[in-house]
Structure 1
């Protein structure tokens, strides 16, 4: 897993108002506030990234700039600029350059490139990135610097390994999605056939199911690259020289796949409830998922918790009043209180803060687990991006904003590195990932079949759904 930059409170000012005296290094084109870098020209910030014999950038700066720079410049363009500055300013392209200079600079450049390839490996899916990387590392590894050659080889092998693992993961996701689609098609071909298999028939222990959901969460979190949080905000910068083309970046599907997983779990919960023919069984299924959700909360798996609650709050489920009247609501009310959206999810944020503090002092992976409610995390990052400009009036990059952005993403990077401590149950995982999941219309039809329509609007919808879904094509 990529290493996470150790962010601390003082590394990025929390406010955005220019209420403090600022100082500017006119030579470097960088502006500081209380000894913190707050803005600079893009060129100066790129220069600040490139090591010299006497200087190496702070790891927090490397992470923050590589994360945010893609809002202004393609990663492959940035790599080209880094290579140029390294080769030309350090005269590495000169055949007569003193080998001592190369020897002193090589480990610093290898360290920077290692940080880049470990933390943002998906940038190197672009062949142009790989070409620039190869050219620079070949020059650095020339001569008798055997130790640097070894470091370059290790870096390159590590990068290829990460990209291979990503490719295998994406292939596995495709197979899982194909299996799920096949099973759903099989159900729709014979809609009158009752589905006997359900999650409770596979495992009736809510703690075990919560553990397996945590396995899925941590695996899918682990493949999300930090740059994916920024990628959605990428658009043409008004100060770009090339205004004739649309900015396009190398994309991965890992963030989208994780959002789809949340939706699948929500619909799976609703499907399991609505497909139960008897009221007693529906009550049992609802209470089972309440217990699963409670165990997810105890583990620190807030994303699965919210997905389960969302599934139970879907209209086809919530309208089952006769069923809900038999449910023991005390535990469910506690969970809904914890995930109450009022006051900007104040209760959830308090619980998340507690789980985060626990993870910091934890001695075991079990206590380190923090899986945030992902949609809210994305929303927070989105509003941070929307609430502050990328460029200041003088054309400088608003680096104060990007310290804050990097701090949020860096915290996520810490959470996603935790290895799941629970033993895998292949049967549960296979079922949760591939079992048929009903569409909203299918859920409504099953809901009306369980507890009949209560008013004319529901009766009209029921008749429409029956004629649409149950009539052979």
Structure 2
């Protein structure tokens, strides 16, 4: 706890000064005492022994302080030389640093912890993974990231409430948010409500295993993803869940509820024994609240004293936050699966993107449905502004994942992945493009270079820009219909809003609900058989894209509506002939009739009701 009030170097220097100036702090009552180390009853030697035993306790309890802090290590080594000069070999042995192990894995985020055991080979395919295996490997990944966060990282966040210059803590938060988003994307990747319900059931089983492993931080991320509004609004999907499954999800939600300051979670966490992973956000909030409420020092009559009450409460919080630094992982780590999971969780989406994908799966059918995503019941809302992984991190994760994939699925070891092998691994990555997109040279095989290039590009291009429209208010001189609700844009002037890029037209209240990729209008010749003469509307390619019922392979299951689910520019290189075979276009004259009919039907029904009255 000293690091909150004073640095380790300052504390060590104070202890050395106390040892050297021991005569200024105590007196020896013995007659004819030489004050040498052989005088065991000497008060001066007793105080010196206490100082050395303080160092001994410090070294044994927190050995990583002396390996990670070079200045502290230098101070202790110099102090040891002083003891040897005095001939006090017993004391010098107490502060010996030669047996302190290396903690390079804690200093550098890229160094692997040597204490992590490696397990047998397991499948890397999501559909083949058992919930228990997935929960265990997620716990290994959480353990690896969480235990690298040190005291200084927590303190800096409590003092500044920002993640600037705090990469270890930021990585943990990115992992949390990435896992929650990955859960949502894996559910939305399935085409039918029954298939989506199966994925939800699997993640609920994963959550139960995480609870038994006492990994509450990862449990929070998984349940947060399952209870997010993007999945909660899927009525058809939720209707496929059994009552027992819904009850289990409700129990997990109540466990992690924010009611009474997470009282249910705190009660269960305090009963845990052995290995456990706390919810990072909850305890960081406690830390910030305590620092805000109490000052570090209390002004006394003559000097400024340390606030003892704050120090005790800080100890209770840091005991939970740093508990993993001295804990061994009770599981076997499968690094191939962990590398694949890490890259899957690095896929960067926004809540708006995911909500748009949810609307694409089950379009809004009620006015009561929210127009924008709402905060989930237990989703982490205690931090914002997380930046995407840097290029070096992305490259490292992509390299590790690709090596793991080829190690397990390149059966003939020729350095290439065929189509069948690709379909087996594609399930781990929601909305991944088809085999022909990754096969850049069109030789029928995917090389390591092609796979690495694809995933690096997929991470470097954000999905969010594809859905942003540049709307401006517009006056129309021809009958124009909203592309979202198909309603007529009524009024004399400024009837609606038009996108400057893709030229779609919408109502004012519909412009924030459009689920359509923004595509710049093509400079193609105008169709002469078009009913609409308004040039503003012709920018929408003079046709409406409609899709057949899904008949996609695994590699195509994510592509459902106008390319909204494609997350990289490389998908635009998809062979046009393949696209044409999978979809057809509705002529604009037919579109006009359909839109007009949709406007007339409510009016006709209203007239019938009035006549009946």
| TM bucket, shorter chain | 0.5 to 0.7
Q: Within 5 A, what are the aligned runs for 1:355-366? A: 355=272, 359=273
Q: Which among 147, 150, 157 is matched to residue 232 of structure 1? A: 157
Q: Where do residues 276-425 of structure 1 align in structure 2 (5 Å cutoff)?
A: 276-328=190-242, 329-355=246-272, 359=273, 368-394=274-300, 395-414=304-323, 417-425=326-334
**Deviations, residues 275-334 of structure 1 (Å, cap 9, x unaligned):** 223332211111110111112122222111111011123333333332222223121111
Matched, 1:134 2:134: no
Pair 81,439 (structure 1): closer, same or farther in 2 beyond 3 Å: same
Gaps of 5+ in 1: 1-63, 174-196, 236-250, 360-367
Counterpart of 2:381 in structure 1 is none
The answer to whether the Cα contact below 8 Å between 2:214 and 2:277 also exists between their aligned partners in 1 is yes
Contact 2:16-2:79 within 8 A present in 1 as well? yes
Helix, strand or coil at the partner of 1:350: helix
- CA drift at 1:79: 3.0
CA RMSD of aligned residues (A): 3.6
Tell me which structure has the larger Cα radius of gyration. 2
Question: TM-score, structure 2 length as denominator?
Answer: 0.50
State the 1:209 CA deviation. Answer: 1.8
Map 1:171-190 → 2, pairs under 5 A: 171=111
Which of 195, 206, 220 pairs up with 2:145? 220
CA contact (8 A) 1:312 1:318 kept: yes
- The 2-side partners of 1:131 and 1:419 are apart by 29
Verify the 8 A CA contact 1:270 1:443 in the aligned structure 2: yes
1:452 to 1:123, Cα distance in 2 relative to 1, 3 A: farther
Identify unmatched segments of 5+ residues in structure 2: 25-33, 114-122, 366-370, 372-483, 485-508, 521-563, 573-613
- Deviations along 1:183-234, one digit per CA (max 9) or x if unpaired, are xxxxxxxxxxxxxx9853340x212222222223333333333444333345
**2:18 pairs with 1:85:** yes
Check conservation: 1:199, 1:431, Cα contact below 8 A.
no
Preserved CA contact (<8 Å) 1:283 1:324: yes
Q: CA, structure 1 residues 110+253, in 2 after alignment: closer, same or farther (shift >3 Å)?
A: farther
CA distance in 1, matches of 2:269, 2:222: 17
User: How many angstroms does 1:125 deviate by?
Assistant: 4.2
1:375 is displaced (CA, Å) by 0.8
Per the alignment, do residues 284 and 224 of structure 1 end up closer, same or farther by CA in structure 2, a change over 3 Å counting?
A: same
Which residue is 2:347 aligned to? 437
Which whole-Å CA distance do the structure 2 matches of 1:171 and 1:226 have between them?
19
In 1: Cα distance, 2:516 partner to 2:19 partner: 68
Cα deviation for residue 266 of structure 1 reads: 1.2
Query: Larger relative contact order (C-alpha < 8 A, sep ≥ 6)?
Result: 1
CA contact (8 A) 2:140 2:329 kept: yes
> 1:413 Cα shift?
4.2
Q: Distance in 2 between matches of 1:346 and 1:233?
A: 22
Q: How does 1:84-233 map to 2 (within 5 A)?
A: 84-89=17-22, 98-100=36-38, 108-117=50-59, 118-119=61-62, 121-122=64-65, 125-153=68-96, 155-158=97-100, 161-171=101-111, 200-203=126-129, 205-233=130-158
Secondary structure of 1:349's counterpart equals: helix
Q: C-alpha separation between the residues in 2 aligned to 1:464 and 1:139?
A: 74
Q: 1:326 to 1:76 in 2, by over 3 A?
A: same
Match of 1:23 in 2: none
Q: After superposition, give the CA deviation of every residue in 1:405-452 in whole Å (9 maximum; x if it has no partner).
A: 113322444465332323333343222222253401442343233223
Give the 3-state SS of the residue equivalent to 1:276 in structure 2: coil
